[in-house]
Amino acid sequence: MKLGIVGLPNVGKSTLFNAITEAGAESANYPFCTIEPNIGVVAVPDNRLSVLDEMYKSEKVIPANIEFYDIAGLVRGASKGEGLGNKFLSHIREVEAILHVVRCFEDSDITHVDGDVNPLRDIETIDLELIFSDLEIIEKRILKTEKLIKSDKSLIGELELLKTIKKTLEEGKTIRTLSLTDEEVKMVKGFNLLSSKPTIYVGNVSEEDVKDYGENNIYVKELKEHALKENAEVVVICAKIEAEIAELEEEEKELFLTELGLNESGLDRLIKASYSLLGLISYLTAGPKEVRAWTIKNGLKAPQAAGKIHSDFERGFIRAEVIAFNDLVACGSHSAAKEKGLVRLEGKDYIVKDGDVILFRFNV
Ligand code: GDP
């Protein structure tokens, strides 16, 4: 999963991104070697992995991971090529969802590019750049489709959608605020636009305000009201504290969070919110060689889920031996679960569930 961190200058993006890379550096065991400087990879926290590791005495544990892209450099006018505008916009095109960092902390030492702290104005500034960029693409596409439609009437639906989108953009609204049918969503994906990307607002608050998740912060209140209108999620963090947490060992981290009165780090909450925003779940594979979590879209059938491991698994899929994580733990071992008849044989129409521990059988 790829997430892009965007936001105006001086809102705390680099502080958050550095915390992410620091946290990522600690969790070794990645099947990656070269990571570009603007990409931070972190493990998706999943307590089930350590339980399975204990049960199988595995050689290694491989968590699912998320790639965070630091998409810095957005300024007013980016869509017109100001600053590194175009480069910035092309980076957004590559990510599946946007984490929009919004400044909700006061600090007279840290200047705001537009003079004062104002989350809604900041959101509008960024959204407008995405909207301008999308408008350009949509207008070109409308012209092209109008020509093609003369010989291909099947494009009528597409043209209508393009016009609806154009109208929305011209009203200064993002495409993600439109309610679309499943078919329209598919078409929009093909247009590869920016303002259609699912978005989480990250409210960056002070060390003081994060203790109650920004409950008493007026900017967070505004941000939440805005997000509600778009069905978007808000995650309140303090980037500075995230940076401190990232440097701690696991045990110290828990102590530190407890002292602050928090249950989870902001990063962990961000990861959870991203999973839920994108409709993702994890299934697990376990054996003496490795215990591993795999991220898939909720609703995938067994062969496609197997394809996540290897395309051969999907092509030659025969069946899946599935047991729910909780059943496996209750039985104590895979063989005990089998004796109790809790290991199910599922076919190609089985829809994989979060926490399924699966062994795929396939032909090569
Ligand atoms: P970017 O331009 O969006 O990448 O912003 P930076 O991460 O460089 O942060 C800009 C300034 O704000 C730096 O001096 C940070 O130390 C400071 N800053 C970032 N997050 C917080 C925060 O949560 N609280 C406070 N008080 N300052 C912060």
Q: What is the mean pLDDT of residues 109-126?
A: 87
pLDDT tier, 27 (very low <50, low <70, confident <90, very high otherwise): very low
Token digits for 354?
């979060």
Do residues 282 and 268 touch, judged by C-beta distance below 8 A?
Answer: no
pLDDT of residue 310: 93
Residue 9 CA, ligand 1 centroid: distance in Å: 9
As given in the structure block, the two tokens for residue 212 are: 């109650």
* Contacts with 99 (C-beta within 8 Å, 6 or more apart), sequence order: 3, 4, 5, 6, 68, 199, 200, 202, 270, 274
Report ipTM (2 d.p.).
0.94
Cα–Cα nearest to 237, from 258, 217, 254, 253:
217
pLDDT (tens digit per residue) in 57-98? 999 999 999 999 988 766 677 667 665 556 778 888 989 999
Q: What is the pLDDT of residues 312-351, one digit of tens each?
A: 999 999 999 999 999 999 999 999 999 999 999 999 999 9
Mutate to test the pocket of ligand 1, among 5, 8, 10, 245 (most ligand atoms within 8 A of CB): 10
β-pairing verdict for 39-43 and 2-6: unpaired
Q: pLDDT over 90 for what percent of the chain?
A: 75
C-beta of residue 3 within 8 angstroms of C-beta of residue 228? no
Q: What is the 3-state secondary structure (H, E, C) of 255-274?
A: HHHHHHCCCCCHHHHHHHHH
* Candidate from 14-23, 98-107, 133-142 with smallest mean pLDDT: 14-23
**pLDDT at 28 (0 to 100):** 40
pLDDT, residue 215, reads: 94
Return the pLDDT at 230.
Answer: 86
Q: What percent of the chain has pLDDT over 70?
A: 93
Average pLDDT value for residue range 270-298: 95
Largest interatomic CA distance in the chain: 68
Average of per-residue pLDDT across 154-166: 96
How remote is the C-alpha of 230 from its chain's centroid? 17
Count each helix (H run) and each strand (E run) in the chain, helices first.
Answer: 14, 12
State the distance from the centre of ligand 1 to the C-alpha of 240, rounded, in angstroms.
7
Q: What is the 3-state secondary structure (H, E, C) of 117-165?
A: CCHHHHHHHHHHHHHHHHHHHHHHHHHHHHHHHCCCHHHHHHHHHHHHH
Q: CA 286, 292, 298: angle at the middle one, nearest 5? A: 105
Lowest mean pLDDT among 13-17, 45-49, 73-77, 250-254: 73-77
- DSSP assignment letter at 197: S
Does residue 18 line the site of ligand 1, with CB under 6 A?
no
Closest residue by CA, ligand 1 atom 24: 206
Instruction: State if residue 17 touches ligand 1 by the CB under 6 angstroms criterion.
Output: no
The answer to whether 11 is annotated as binding is yes
Q: Is 229 labelled as part of a ligand binding site?
A: no
Interatomic CA distance for residues 195 and 198, integer angstroms: 8
Structure confidence at residue 47 (pLDDT): 93
Task: Judge if the beta carbon of residue 14 lies within 6 A of ligand 1.
Answer: yes
Instruction: List domains and CATH numbers for the chain.
Output: 2-277 (3.40.50.300), 299-362 (3.10.20.30)
Q: Is 331 helix (H, G, I), strand (E, B) or coil?
A: helix
pLDDT (0 to 100) of residue 75 = 67
Q: What is the pLDDT of residue 23?
A: 75
Contact criterion met (CB below 8 Å) for 238 and 209: yes
Confidence (pLDDT) at 82 = 60
Indicate if the pLDDT at residue 26 is higher than 70: no
Q: Can you read off the two tokens belonging to residue 237?
A: 């963090």
300 neighbors 352 (Cβ within 8 angstroms): yes
Neighbours of 276 (CB within 10 A): 13
- Give the DSSP letter string of 57-70: T-SEEE--EEEEEE
Does residue 199 register a pLDDT over 60? yes
Distance from residue 15's CA to the centre of ligand 1 (Å): 6
Q: Is residue 14 a known part of a binding site?
A: yes
